[in-house]
Amino acid sequence: MTNLPTGLKYAESHEWADLDEQNIVKVGITDHAQEELGDLVFIELPEIGNRVSAGEQCAVVESVKAASDIYSPVSGVIVEVNGALLDSPEKVNDDAFSAWLFSVKIDNADELEKLMDADGYNAMINA
């Protein structure tokens, strides 16, 4: 059993989503995803102000092994990016659940209901 924070929602494409009181969703990749990728060496973040749709590719992480697209788990507008990761992408490897990539001002919080909870995600990655 992977150690997954239970307060988050999870996408099949291995992103986590954390909704706050202002309808802002912080997005990162799961610990499982960073383990599969290996040591991250580069992260390309979306531009603030960009509109994204749920399931749309909007960022890229590159490791020594591969590059992987990152998808927004929700629709909305990018309101913040974690610029600290541009110089230190390894922070995602150190703690994937605190090293968020970008934040989306969500259009419709109901979209989060389409994502998995920790138990559902854990079942998927261990299937």
For residue 2, what pLDDT is reported?
A: 56
For residue 1, what pLDDT is reported?
A: 45
87 alpha carbon, distance to own chain's centre: 18
Amino acid at 43: I
For residue 3, what pLDDT is reported?
A: 74
Report yes or no on 23 lying in a domain: yes
CB contact set of 55 (below 8 Å; sequence gap of 6+): 13, 71, 72, 73
Q: How many other CB atoms are found less than 10 A from the CB of residue 111?
A: 21
Q: How many other CB atoms are found less than 10 A from the CB of residue 54?
A: 20
Report the chain's mean pLDDT, rounded to a whole number: 96
Strand order in the sheet with 67-71: 40-44, 57-63, 67-71
For residue 88, what pLDDT is reported?
A: 97
Query: Which residue range forms the structural domain that includes residue 38?
Result: 9-108
Report yes or no on 121 lying in a domain: no
Report yes or no on 99 lying in a domain: yes
Count of structural domains within the chain: 1
Q: Is the pTM of this model over 0.75?
A: yes
2-39: string of b/e by CB count within 10 Å (b at 16+)?
A: eebeeebbbbebbbbbbbeeeeebbbbbbbbbbeebee
Low-confidence ranges of the chain (pLDDT < 50): 1
